[in-house]
Chain A
């Protein structure tokens, strides 16, 4: 009983903190905006940001840019997943090959993907194709590394059973490897999705003619700061929603 009341007390305190914190942030923001500490317009008031946010939501232009970014994300992530899973399984099914490939994959995985933008632009131009390619490159490494590690850790007894039953390579893949790889692939996809989103948006910011990243930097260049903040809010809400969906899928299917 005492335990329950302590738990509910703690829960109430946690909830209070979680409600109060954004309120404190908003008040601090408003105070800074009105204080004149920073140059005028650099930190707009909450009302100005809210108004810009509403204007953006009612503008058809936003949905065009939103659609471009979503299309690039879908293309980049699909390619990253397909190529990453195939590469991960191919490398992971031979331990020696995986140890040879590991230095390349690990060092490229920790390299900032945005520096490859010039390369993909030389190949695909400044249109959405180069952002799709950059997103695919970004998402590929976490997915390939996670799948490779998962393949290396498939229980040997399952592989031996498959061999004892004279399964073909295709049957081994479908019946033995893929069912064991659901968890690692989903974990890799979750990490890869985050990197793909970042790579695509940064690519749009650097050199592009459409997309949410392009819109944000366009507002920055023309000093429409409240609109820039509203686009950043839209970007973060989108990224968090996609991440929440991926977390749900991960919890639903990854039983590790």
Chain B
């Protein structure tokens, strides 16, 4: 009897723990939107500086139909995925090399960590000069900023493989290649994926940033165009869309990471 009462109660609590904050987040967003709408409508907030949320949402539709926001998104996505793919082609072997050869690891890991913290995106004028104002520059910047976390986390992941697993491999007389493919690689996947996730986010952020700065390419260019056109609702709509894309990327990547790390 007690169990039958406790179970639905527990389910309710679990559902609240899961959906309560999400519903509240949505309500907060709606509430903030409403306040902004009232402030703009009443003239307290200057409409030449802040767009009313209703106007912004209507502009979003216009951005899709007239200003090719969908195509801009695909351009940015294609650049970010290409840059991340290239960053993986560079970063994964580099991370393995730094793990495999101790002298290289000791010599360069600190440098890579310093580069990870350095404002590498500021190098873009250098690539503008060398490559020009084209996708080569945006993708190169994405590759540079993306490959460093991939390499660092791959190296870290291989270092973190449990010695017990390696001992089990040794007990089964595995060769070095078998140990690498059957033990080290599968064990390192979750941590190495964290590097790939960061690499993708860094690439995306830097590509959008550079698109905005050089007024070229996808989503970043749309924000810049709207600003210079002084289309305030359109500009806010484009910024809102980029925030939504960031949230989508973050959510999907975190879910994949959780799936790769079941325990």
Q: Counting CB contacts under 8 A, is B86 at the interface?
A: no
B24, B48, B103, B208: which contacts A115 (Cβ < 8 A)?
B208
Q: Report whether B125 and A216 are in contact in the complex, using a CB–CB cutoff of 8 Å.
A: yes
Query: In chain A between 95 and 148, which residues have their CB closer than 8 angstroms to a CB of chain B?
Result: 96, 99-104, 106-108, 110-112, 114-119, 121-123
Q: Report whether A122 and B232 are in contact in the complex, using a CB–CB cutoff of 8 Å.
A: yes
Q: Report whether B119 and A197 are in contact in the complex, using a CB–CB cutoff of 8 Å.
A: yes
Q: Report whether A10 and B125 are in contact in the complex, using a CB–CB cutoff of 8 Å.
A: no
Q: Counting CB contacts under 8 A, is A198 at the interface?
A: yes
Q: Counting CB contacts under 8 A, is A42 at the interface?
A: yes
B251 CB to closest chain A CB (Å) equals: 9
Q: Report whether B21 and A112 are in contact in the complex, using a CB–CB cutoff of 8 Å.
A: no
Q: Counting CB contacts under 8 A, is A185 at the interface?
A: no
Q: Report whether A99 and B21 are in contact in the complex, using a CB–CB cutoff of 8 Å.
A: yes
Q: Report whether A111 and B128 are in contact in the complex, using a CB–CB cutoff of 8 Å.
A: no
Interface residues as binary, B129-162 with A (CB distance below 8 Å gives 1, 0 otherwise) = 1100000000000000000000000000000000
Query: In chain B between 213 and 263, which residues have their CB closer than 8 angstroms to a CB of chain A?
Result: 213, 220, 223-224, 226-227, 232, 235-236, 238-239, 242-244, 246-247, 249-250
Q: Report whether B49 and A122 are in contact in the complex, using a CB–CB cutoff of 8 Å.
A: yes
Q: Report whether B24 and A100 are in contact in the complex, using a CB–CB cutoff of 8 Å.
A: yes
Q: How far is the CA of A206 from the CA of B104 in the complex (A)?
A: 39
Q: Report whether A115 and B25 are in contact in the complex, using a CB–CB cutoff of 8 Å.
A: no
Q: Counting CB contacts under 8 A, is B212 at the interface?
A: yes
Q: Which residues of B contact A206 (CB under 8 A)?
A: 212-213
Q: Report whether B205 and A112 are in contact in the complex, using a CB–CB cutoff of 8 Å.
A: yes
Interface residues on B, range: 35 or more
Q: Report whether A229 and B126 are in contact in the complex, using a CB–CB cutoff of 8 Å.
A: yes
Q: Which residues of B contact A197 (CB under 8 A)?
A: 119
**Secondary structure call for the A interface:** helix
Interface size, chain A (Cβ < 8 Å):
51
Q: Report whether B119 and A194 are in contact in the complex, using a CB–CB cutoff of 8 Å.
A: yes
B141 CB to closest chain A CB (Å) equals: 12
Q: How far is the CA of A216 from the CA of B126 in the complex (A)?
A: 10
Q: Counting CB contacts under 8 A, is A228 at the interface?
A: yes
Q: Report whether A107 and B243 are in contact in the complex, using a CB–CB cutoff of 8 Å.
A: yes
Interface residues as binary, B185-197 with A (CB distance below 8 Å gives 1, 0 otherwise) = 0000000000000
Q: Counting CB contacts under 8 A, is B41 at the interface?
A: no
Q: Which residues of B contact A101 (CB under 8 A)?
A: 25
Q: Report whether A115 and B242 are in contact in the complex, using a CB–CB cutoff of 8 Å.
A: yes
Q: How far is the CA of A114 from the CA of B227 in the complex (A)?
A: 13
Q: Which residues of B contact A103 (CB under 8 A)?
A: 22, 25, 247
Q: Report whether A243 and B118 are in contact in the complex, using a CB–CB cutoff of 8 Å.
A: yes
A194-B119, A239-B118, A239-B119 are contacts. A100–B25 as well, Cβ < 8 Å? Answer: yes
Q: How far is the CA of A243 from the CA of B120 in the complex (A)?
A: 13
Closest to A11 in B: B106
Q: Which residues of B contact A123 (CB under 8 A)?
A: 49
B142 CB to closest chain A CB (Å) equals: 12
Q: Report whether B250 and A106 are in contact in the complex, using a CB–CB cutoff of 8 Å.
A: yes
Q: Report whether A110 and B201 are in contact in the complex, using a CB–CB cutoff of 8 Å.
A: yes
Apart from the given pairs A100-B24, A103-B247, A202-B213, 10 other A-B contacts in the complex at a CB distance below 8 Å: A13-B107, A111-B205, A118-B235, A118-B239, A197-B119, A205-B125, A205-B213, A213-B122, A220-B128, A225-B129
Q: Which residues of A are interface residues toward B (Cβ below 8 A)?
A: 10, 13-14, 17-18, 21, 38, 42-43, 96, 99-104, 106-108, 110-112, 114-119, 121-123, 194, 197-198, 201-202, 205-206, 213, 216-217, 220, 225, 228-229, 232, 235-236, 239-240, 243
- Nearest 10 CB-CB pairings of A with B: A107-B247, A99-B21, A118-B227, A17-B107, A112-B209, A100-B24, A112-B205, A111-B246, A114-B209, A198-B119
- Give 15 pairs: A residue, B residue, CB < 8 Å, sorted on A: A103-B25, A104-B28, A107-B250, A108-B243, A111-B205, A112-B205, A115-B238, A115-B242, A118-B227, A118-B239, A122-B232, A220-B128, A229-B126, A232-B122, A243-B117
